[in-house]
Amino acid sequence: MTVRDEIAGLAHSDEDLIEFLRRASLPDAESLLDDPRWVEWRGGRPHDYGAV
């Protein structure tokens, strides 16, 4: 996962992703997961971490 063009880490779950967004000072991060203006899912379907 990248935040502001910086590598933040590898998310293995929505909870990991929410924590990365929270650390990037984004309030209410959980509501951003399905908003393509904030989260771009790559390499599979949204919320599918099986390939990780």
Any domain includes 51: no
Any domain includes 14: yes
Judge residue 17's burial from the number of C-beta atoms within 10 Å of its C-beta, 0-12 exposed, 13-18 middle, 19 or more buried: buried
Walk along the chain (52 residues) in steps of 10 and give the mean pLDDT of each run.
82 91 87 89 86 56
Any domain includes 30: yes
Query: For position 52, what pLDDT does the model report?
Result: 53
Any domain includes 36: yes
Any domain includes 52: no
Any domain includes 35: yes
Query: For position 15, what pLDDT does the model report?
Result: 94
Any domain includes 12: yes
Domain range spanning residue 37?
1-46
Cα–Cα distances in angstroms (integers) from residue 17 to residues 9, 11, 32, in the given order: 9, 5, 10
User: pTM for the complete prediction?
Assistant: 0.75
User: What's the domain count of the chain?
Assistant: 1
Rounded Cα–Cα distance for residues 11 and 51 (Å) = 11
